[in-house]
Amino acid sequence: MSKVFVDVGMSLDGFIAGPNGGTKNPLGDDGLKIHNWMFKQKAFLSHLKMEGGETNNKDNDIIEETFNRFGANIMGKNMFVEGEATWPEEAPFHCLVYVLTHEKREPLIRPGGTTFYFTDEDIHTVLQKAKDSAGEKDVRISGGAKTVQQYLNAGLVDEFIIHIAPIFMDAGVRLFEHLDKTKFSFKINKVIDSPEVTHLFYSVKDN
Amino acid sequence: MSKVFVDVGMSLDGFIAGPNGGTKNPLGDDGLKIHNWMFKQKAFLSHLKMEGGETNNKDNDIIEETFNRFGANIMGKNMFVEGEATWPEEAPFHCLVYVLTHEKREPLIRPGGTTFYFTDEDIHTVLQKAKDSAGEKDVRISGGAKTVQQYLNAGLVDEFIIHIAPIFMDAGVRLFEHLDKTKFSFKINKVIDSPEVTHLFYSVKDN
């Protein structure tokens, strides 16, 4: 059955972006460093239509598996605005992306199969639409932090994957705050370690 | 050569204790849950002179290895005050423990080889004394958060072990804040996964 998952990179001190983020400073000060392990992998670069990159390692395999499993994405407005300014023309989704925003806007079609839908419907309704779009594939809650928190607190997430980089941000956007811990529990599914990042796979139970 | 290490349990959202901690509420609201995996292991219980507990698993082995490696401890005043009220008479250290405090107090000798020394010397001097006491064994920076942060920011830590429990506190004492990330870097040494906790072993480099 189709699953709803979060897949996110985090610093060891709990940040998914640095301070002062925006269209001219994607992921904020030092925020790109959280994903250094990813930027060097072929599976990531090829989705941006870029050449090169490493293969035959666990990090590359994990990225490939993640890209292959989702059939729709949901993201918050801030993530979209920052991404719109920085993704290449062929945005790295290749499926429908639902953007949670009060802004009225026509769907945005990008080459390579990515269409952004802008919606101010409630998160349950948006998730149902994303599931319908995804078919047998999974739905990824892409971010940012507020969107992840909303879906967690609503008990709507099935799996949570965190890639912890051994770096410190000391400021920025925290992944885990404003949580209602009575609403859900995490259980360790598996852990994959590699030299520059630790991949933690949790299953999430609605309490 | 003798090493300086931190060994600490943390919730997935970055807390090492809950809110409202004190002598009557050790580790704060829900804080003991961070260590649930540990409380059921024989290696831990036997150091408190308690019977029972699980054996033959990775968690138990890790606890045993940690107890065997340190020859001295350093801790902050708050940790000591809370511990003094809650440790059994035979406190689980069995070596010298340096307590960073401005309070003048005679050394406190507990049965089983634990002696607490109270000192207001600077952290470098205290570390040197702890190293001298430990001999060929390692020195553990036991906590709390401020003491760990002080030693990290001074570039005095060699290894950092974090046991991440898949739980959320949402409030309490954060491990990683007030850090000067220019002073040190973490490198993944090894990761040991088990069903209820993930053990992350980092080496720390003074920048």
User: What is the predicted pLDDT for the residue at B4?
Assistant: 98
DSSP type of residue B53: -
Does the pLDDT at position A111 exceed 80? yes
CA distance B138 to chain A (A): 23
Calpha distance A186→B165 (Å, rounded):
9
φ, ψ dihedrals at A32, nearest 5° = -60, -25
Chain centroid to Cα B12, Å, comes to: 17
pLDDT band at A207 (very low <50, low <70, confident <90, very high): confident
Which of A164, A170, A196 lies nearest to residue B179, judging by beta carbons?
A170
User: What is the predicted pLDDT for the residue at A67?
Assistant: 93
CA distance B10 to chain A (A): 11
User: What is the predicted pLDDT for the residue at B147?
Assistant: 98
User: In 3D, which of B200, B12, B6 has the Cα closest to residue A204?
Assistant: B12
Per-residue pLDDT of chain B (207 residues; tens, 9 = 90+): 799 999 999 999 999 999 999 999 999 999 999 999 999 999 999 888 889 999 989 999 999 999 999 999 999 999 999 999 999 888 989 999 999 999 999 999 999 999 999 999 999 999 999 999 999 999 999 999 999 999 999 999 999 999 999 999 999 999 999 999 999 999 999 999 999 999 999 999 988
Does the pLDDT at position A85 exceed 80? yes
Q: Are the beta carbons of A166 and B202 separated by less than 8 Å? A: yes
- Count of alpha carbons within 13 Å of A27, Cβ hemisphere only? 19
- Say whether A22 sits in a helix, a strand or coil: strand
**What sign does the CA torsion over A167, A173, A175, A176 have?**
positive
Does the pLDDT at position A74 exceed 90? yes
User: What is the predicted pLDDT for the residue at B38?
Assistant: 95
Which of B12, B170, B188 lies nearest to residue A186, judging by beta carbons?
B12
Mind listing the pLDDT tens digit for each residue in A123-182? Answer: 999 999 999 999 999 999 999 999 999 999 999 999 999 999 999 999 999 999 999 999
Amino acid at B86: T
Q: Are the beta carbons of B188 and A195 separated by less than 8 Å? A: yes
Tokens of B3: 């090493």
Which contacts of A116-124 are long-range, i.e. CB under 8 A and separated by 24 or more positions? A116/A80, A123/A74, A123/A150, A123/A151, A123/A154, A123/A156, A124/A154, A124/A156
Burial class, B111, CB count within 10 angstroms (exposed 0-12 / middle 13-18 / buried 19+) = exposed
Residues of A with CB under 8 A from a CB of B: 12-14, 164, 166-170, 176-177, 179-181, 185-188, 190-191, 193-198, 200, 202
Q: Considering chain A, what is the average pLDDT of its residues?
A: 95
Asked if the ipTM is above 0.85, the reply is yes
Share of chain A above pLDDT 90, in %: 91
User: CA angle at residue B7 from B5 to B11, to 5 degrees?
Assistant: 145
Residue in B with minimal Cα distance to A199: B191
Average pLDDT over residues A3-24: 97
Q: Are the beta carbons of A13 and B176 separated by less than 8 Å? A: yes
User: What is the predicted pLDDT for the residue at B169?
Assistant: 95
Does the pLDDT at position A1 exceed 80? no
CB A100 within 8 A of CB A127: no
Predicted TM-score (pTM) of this structure: 0.96
How many CB pairs lie under 8 A apart between chains A and B? Answer: 74
Asked if omega into A144 is within 30° of 0 (cis), the reply is: yes
Does the pLDDT at position A33 exceed 90? yes
pLDDT band at A25 (very low <50, low <70, confident <90, very high): very high
